[in-house]
A and B are shown apart, each in its own frame.
Chain A
């Protein structure tokens, strides 16, 4: 009994790490562009498809496939960023919603058109089980947790010390002032978007060996899971997002085991509504910024 709970919590931490890497990109995009990116899950899907393609057609090893998946997604993000995302800086909220929904439809259905809508087997990754403190875990799950930590420490350092990171923080606080002091807001917005999409892709490639199957519509579910996380974490708040992602990951894992698997995908929005009734600005913000 106790053993099962711990096991489920560990599983929850693994999926929490996955959600955290996706959601942190989305929350950074929100902070800088002030737009909910409804296409965010699509970059997760693109990363996975890139890696799947590299393994299936060129027989490349998994680590190379990871790089290819992320780079391919970043290239697409440059195009989308230039033609769509930069234009919605400063546009009304419904413009952002409609434009990113449009991007999601285009990306998802193009992939389905090119590769077909069926489920595909993802054969890469490290699926050997290893034993840690008496628990058996697949190597891939440990890798996910480690990469998650590296990503968060790296982002924290970048946002605190690098020039780009400081500019991102400044833009997310006040666009007008940044423009006045000569920060190229559109340039920052583009880079934030590329980093966010790249992180989503990384997360997708890391999870693919655990999920085993890959299909064109897989991004939608990820988008819907990420949305409550970034609201709970406080929009634009990197550390809050990490905690919210962990809470959601663990809660989902426990609900799936003790309540029923079919309720897993509603945990996010149900928790979100409970949290918002109690704290309308999210868990980690003192006041609503957006």
Chain B
């Protein structure tokens, strides 16, 4: 139990539901008071929320540290872009195909990688990102190499004769918000199910979990595929939002960002990941003032996160929370 849950259980005043409703309401009206750039940052954060949920299932709940999210993010982006550019398929087809493709490719990659111990597994997943980038660069007939794929259409929906296109930042914001909300719900349902309990058991002690009859290998492989699918869906949104993809979509930067969102918010909690993505918006916004110092500040932020807040910033909120509730 987090401190917040504990104090809510003892005092009987749970502020989290009203707070959650307020947050959702705030998210819904955000375009009314946010400027163009903050809204853009919010969209990026909500897009990154999908791969981050995937990574949280893998790292926070199953205990597997993976740097491969950028690879699956890139696969999703390219799948979506290729379908949209070559076949002109509607958005929901591209979106689902991106998730399926990333999840399917995770199967043959996961089988050898998941046999490895912790450190070697981390390295192997990093290798997926490097190799993915090399393929995107060199399979020129398909991916156009370094030039990338441009002019990816904005998301359009077609059902029978009716069709409409999501254009403009505000429209896209609501689309991403809805998808992120659904993804959060799916992640919540997964971790609250018996499967989620088994995942935690694997994280805490894999040998023990195996000995009580949990098929740990199958769990790890399936969670790896689900996390890849989440990353692929995020990549699809990213491609449709920026309308270009290039080999730079396969970058360590994205894996690092997703790690920051998960670990910064607090691995192993759904609300922590949401908080982490908001934190990420705040961080990119705050660092916008000095572009050349941005990456240096980012580095110091990472060090601060590791040494002063090893379980993320979300527990801080929890502490603040219990203070607030005791006050009442």
Contacts and interface: CB of A to CB of B under 8 A. Distances in A.
A184 interface: no
Of residues A105, A263, A272, which shows the largest number of chain B Cβ atoms within 10 Å of its Cβ? A105
A283 to B, nearest CB: 12
A97 B64 CA distance: 13
B208 interface: no
A265 B117 contact: no
Given A101-B256, A102-B300, A273 B127 contact: yes
Interface string A99-115: 10111111011101100
Residue among B137, B138, B256, B302 with the highest chain A CB neighbour number at 10 A: B302
Interface stretch (B22-30, B177-185, B304-312): B304-312
B134 A102 contact: no
A262 B134 CA distance: 8
Measured as residues with beta carbon below 8 angstroms from the partner, the interface class of chain A is: 35 or more
A288 B131 contact: no
Contacts of B256: 101
Given A272-B124, A272-B127, A98 B302 contact: yes
Nearest to B264: A98
Nearest to A269: B127
A91 B308 CA distance: 13
Contacts of B293: 109, 113
A273 B112 contact: yes
A64 B261 CA distance: 45
Contacts of B263: 94, 98
Contacts, number: 123
Given A95-B310, A97-B122, A265 B134 contact: yes
Contacts of A88: 306
Interface in A99-140: 99, 101-106, 108-110, 112-113
Contacts of A228: 123, 127
Contact of B299 (A87, A105, A224, A273): A105
Interface residues of B, number: 39
A106 B300 contact: yes
Contacts of A227: 123, 126
Given A102-B301, A110-B296, A94 B119 contact: no
Interface in B124-151: 124, 126-127, 130-131, 134, 137-138
A194 to B, nearest CB: 19
Interface in B281-307: 292-293, 295-296, 298-303, 305-307
Contacts of B242: none
Most buried by B among A84, A276, A282: A276
A274 to B, nearest CB: 9
B117 A263 contact: no
Given A231-B120, A290-B118, 5 more contacts: A91-B306, A235-B120, A265-B134, A270-B127, A280-B116
